[in-house]
Amino acid sequence: MRAALSTTSPVPQRAPRRARFLPWAPLLTLAVMLGPVLAGLLGTLAPAFGYMPALGGTGVSLAAFDALFAWPGLSRAVMLSLGVGVAATGCSLAIVVLICAGWAGTRIFGMIERLLSPLLSVPHAAAAFGLAFLIAPSGWITRALSPWATGWERPPDLLILQDPAGLSLIFGLVTKEVPFLLLMTLAALGQVRPGQSLRVAQALGYGRVTGWLKVIFPLVYRQIRLPVYAVLAFSMSVVDVAIILGPNTPPTLAVQVVRWMSDPDLAFRFQAAAGAVLQLGLVLVGLGLWRLMELAVARIGRLWIASGARGRRRGEQTMRVGALVLGALAALAVIAGLAGQVAWSFAGLWQFPDFWPDAFTLRNWQRHGPRLVGPATETLVIAGAATALALLLTLASLEAEHRHGLRPATRALWLLYLPLIVPQVAFLMGFQTLSILTGVDGGRAAVVLAHLVFVLPYVFLSLSDPWRAWDRRQDTIARALGAGPDRVLWAVRLPMLLRPLLIAAAVGFAVSVGQYLPTLLVGAGRVATLTTEAVALASGGDRRVTGVFALAQTAAAFAPFALAVLLPRVLWRNRKGMRDG
Amino acid sequence: MAEARGLRFEQVVISLRGTRLIALDCTIAPGEVLTVMGPSGSGKSTLLAAITGTLDPVFDMAGRIRLDGRDLMSLPTEARQVGILFQDEYLFPHLSVGANLAFGLKPEVRGRAERRARIEAALAEVALAGFGGRDPATLSGGQRARVALQRMLLSEPRALLLDEAFSKLDTGLRAQVRKLVFDTASRRALPVLQVTHDHSDAKAAGGEVVVLG
């Protein structure tokens, strides 16, 4: 009877407390991420077609588009945006693909991988400033060559920066998109497991690059298609980098739209909205064009594969070395650019052909340092809040997926990329209008919500793979030991995934720090972060103060990465099993 | 009520999209071992997942599994009181050996001193006295296996599942760890279900053998 008695002992029931929120977490996450995008698009479409009661527009008309098409610079601006986007994306993709084809699995590739995170964490604007410091007529490159090689005693009157064809803008974008696409390709390679197929191809006599392009690339491209689309859309519609490096007369369409939007004459709002709608259409056209090119490349590729060409040795070598040189150039541009900003921020007198300043001094930092405090605090508060919210939503969604056996659909990935593909100007303007209507305009909270739209996809993308790769049997073991799902989450899963968790947080933080347009538009110009201040200073042309702000911006983005690497090392210094986890 | 003791399968049928993988109707009495053998993919681990309550929803299961008379099907994994050992020990890498054992020890054992004493005793029982502060990654294979066993026993399970639990150990160590596990199970009168593809495991267990696939 004793056995029978013991069976009646009360069974610990799982408390269904949290079950109410958790299953809704994925939907809530999507709503937070896509709600502003969709609402913002509507809020842009309405004034574009004349409806904006606050400014006296109550009917539906095409007047805004008439005004837009009457702007003489339009066709140039449109072609510039399209050309810059396609060229920057094409170059970045080509460099990444050739680096992977030529070097994957080698020791040099390992070094490239280690350089990735620091390069990625440099905000776009800071990288653009760095590049400007290098290639300007009075920049480091001319200084290195003057006067001995060029004969220049004063900066030459050349239009290198902000050249009308947008070449320096393309270069600036490539330096930042190469690390991003490379990271995405590495993640895709992890799933494709290229080793064996490549060895088979090589055994059949294919060169390394040719074999990789024919066997691995088609599989990899399928996985990185969405990131490539995001790069294309971003490059076509970027604002901060285009302000710093892009041409002025006329600028790219996105920059012109922002100019109209910030015009004191509110009547320009309608024209701006029409321009934003055109920008959206332009990105769609760009994506369609890219899709056509994909099809063409696929067709040519199939013929090339069917031809059985093995690849010539000399051609292979040229491509391998060429890709490495171009990649190194892109990395070097960012690193040397940062070094240039360090030099300027500490520079005393620095006359033209001199390669170094006469003296290094703390004066610039002492003078401008106090001005940093406000924007720096604002940046940290906004980035901290956006990252914390993004982590919370991401973890809740992933945990809901785990506990309730939800299967993420492939379509969900598209949704995740939507905020990265819809051009920022197209929905931020509407988002701004709506936030005025709802009374949260110009406030920190609205800016945090706007940042969350961009922080969430990155946090989710960076955490979901390690989260899903966690060995399910750890969960079974812990549960079989009597731990409920909450205890498993807090005591086992989160500590074991601390490193990817911190990396995801660092990525989110860096994304928020780098946001220019959402801060400017949704903050109605009243929320000043390091990024908005740095870009605003760009027009002033004072390199010392720009250097100070750009470095502070870079530090704000980079510090969390350093912390994410160091903290687990300190915490797990006595845990060998956690060292590479 | 004596016949209700042990791990009982009542017309258990597990199928995948209409294909029957496993059909089992038997009782493992306390202290007895049932060995399920079969090639990989035959559904051995699926059976264990059904018992722990971690069965993938793509599988359909009919019938009932009872442990000491309790119907397990309505209970979450953590309330089933079923201990499991895998081929890997799955010692939590972020916790010390002692903290791993404390994770297993029931919260009903209260008081720091009492809990510590229980953990120290469990370590001493398997000749690992004083190992509480160690990093699990620094232990040998045999030591890890013993810690995993003790951690599981501290949670006071009423049945024991072995999922290829010995297949990673080399021959000498394997016999030693196996003997320890089976002796402990019989001393504590735990019904044991082991799945393996190794005949020496089946032989060492000494109980009934079911072949799948």
Domain boundaries, chain B: 1-74+191-213
What are the Cα distances from residue B209, in Å, to A334, B86, B89, B165, B200?
66, 19, 24, 16, 12
Structure tokens at A155: 């900066």
Size of interface A-B (CB pairs under 8 A): 104
Structure tokens at B28: 């493992």
Give the DSSP H/E element, type plus range, for residue A182. helix A167-192
Confidence (pLDDT) at A442:
67
Please report how the helices A268-307 and A25-48 are oriented relative to each other, as an axis angle in degrees rounded to 10.
120
- Give residue for tokens 């574009």: A48
- Residue B73 has φ and ψ, to the nearest 5°, of -60, -30
Q: Nearest C-alpha of chain A: how many angstroms from B155?
A: 5
Q: Which of A7, A407, A481, A567 to mutate to test the interface with B (most CBs of B within 10 A)?
A: A481
Nearest of A494, A581, A565, A579 to residue B138 by alpha carbon: A579
Give the DSSP H/E element, type plus range, for residue B195. strand B192-196
Per-residue pLDDT at B3 exceeds 70: no
Contact residues on chain B for A6, CB-CB shorter than 8 A = 68
Cis peptide bond upstream of A250, omega within 30: yes
d(CA B101, CA A76): 70
Nearest of A110, A237, A229 to residue A169 by alpha carbon: A237
Per-residue pLDDT at B176 exceeds 90: yes
d(CA A399, CA A25): 9
For the residues B92-114, what does the mean pLDDT come to? 95
Q: In chain A, pLDDT over 90 holds for what percent of residues?
A: 71
Whether residue B104 and residue A482 make contact (CB cut-off 8 A), yes or no, is: yes
d(CA A238, CA A88): 12
**Using H for helix, E for strand and C for coil, what is the string for A389-454?**
HHHHHHHHHHHHHHHCCCCCCHHHHHHHHHHHHCCHHHHHHHHHHHHHHCCCCCCHHHHHHHHHHH
**Using H for helix, E for strand and C for coil, what is the string for A281-349?**
HHHHHHHHHHHHHHHHHHHHHHHHHHHCCCCCHHHHHHHHHHHHHHHHHHHHHHHHHHHHHHHHHCECC
Burial class of residue A364 (count of CB atoms within 10 Å of its CB; 0-12, 13-18, 19+): buried
pTM: 0.91
Q: Which of B7, B75, B77 to mutate to test the interface with A (most CBs of A within 10 A)?
A: B77
Q: Nearest C-alpha of chain A: how many angstroms from B24?
A: 22
pLDDT one digit per residue (tens) for chain A, 581 residues: 233 333 333 334 444 444 578 888 999 999 999 999 999 999 999 999 988 887 777 888 899 999 999 999 999 999 999 999 999 999 999 999 999 999 988 899 999 888 888 898 899 999 999 999 999 998 999 999 988 888 888 888 888 888 999 999 999 999 999 999 999 999 898 888 787 888 899 999 999 999 999 999 999 999 999 999 999 999 999 999 999 999 988 999 999 999 998 888 888 989 999 999 999 999 999 999 999 999 999 999 999 999 999 988 899 999 999 999 999 999 999 999 999 999 999 999 998 889 999 999 999 999 999 999 999 999 999 999 999 999 999 999 999 999 888 777 777 888 999 999 999 999 998 888 888 777 766 689 999 999 999 999 999 999 998 999 999 999 999 999 999 999 999 999 999 999 999 999 999 999 999 999 999 999 888 899 999 999 998 877 788 999 999 999 999 999 999 999 999 999 999 898 887 64
Give the DSSP H/E element, type plus range, for residue B105. none
d(CA A390, CA A384): 10
Contact partners, residue A447, CB within 8 Å, separation at least 6: A382, A518, A519, A522, A523, A527
Q: Nearest C-alpha of chain A: how many angstroms from B143?
A: 15
d(CA B91, CA B78): 17
Number of C-beta neighbours around residue B12 at 10 A = 19
d(CA B1, CA B7): 14
- Give residue for tokens 């691995």: A216
Whether residue B92 and residue A476 make contact (CB cut-off 8 A), yes or no, is: no
Confidence (pLDDT) at A216:
94
Contact residues on chain A for B31, CB-CB shorter than 8 A = none
Per-residue pLDDT at B61 exceeds 90: yes
* Chain A residue closest in CA terms to B108: A482
- Condensed to tens digits (0 to 9), the pLDDT of residues B18-38 reads 889 899 999 999 999 999 998
Contact residues on chain B for A12, CB-CB shorter than 8 A = 78-79
Confidence (pLDDT) at A147:
86
d(CA A324, CA A90): 16
Q: Which positions in chain A have a beta carbon within 8 angstroms of at least one beta carbon in chain B?
A: 1, 3-4, 6-7, 11-14, 405, 471-485, 491-492, 495-496, 498, 572, 574-578, 581
d(CA A180, CA A182): 5
Q: Helix, strand, or coil here: A357?
A: coil
- Give residue for tokens 């924007």: A375
Q: How many angstroms from the chain centroid is the CA of residue A404?
A: 32
Give the DSSP H/E element, type plus range, for residue B23. strand B19-28
Residues 134-153 of B with CB under 8 A from A: 135-138, 151-152
d(CA B176, CA B169): 10
Minimum-distance CB partner of A572 among B56, B77, B94: B94
Please report how the helices A167-192 and A107-121 are oriented relative to each other, as an axis angle in degrees rounded to 10.
120
Contact partners, residue A304, CB within 8 Å, separation at least 6: A214
* Chain B residue closest in CA terms to A572: B94
Give the DSSP H/E element, type plus range, for residue B211. strand B208-211
Q: Which CATH architecture has domain B1-74+191-213?
A: 3-Layer(aba) Sandwich (3.40)
Confidence of residue B213 (pLDDT cuts 50, 70, 90): low
Structure tokens at A493: 């899963």
Please report how the helices B112-125 and B141-154 are oriented relative to each other, as an axis angle in degrees rounded to 10.
130
Contact residues on chain B for A482, CB-CB shorter than 8 A = 78-79, 81, 104, 106, 155
Confidence (pLDDT) at A114:
86
Confidence (pLDDT) at A19:
55
Nearest of B170, B177, B172, B165 to residue B87 by alpha carbon: B165
Contact partners, residue A17, CB within 8 Å, separation at least 6: none
ipTM: 0.93
Contact residues on chain A for B140, CB-CB shorter than 8 A = none
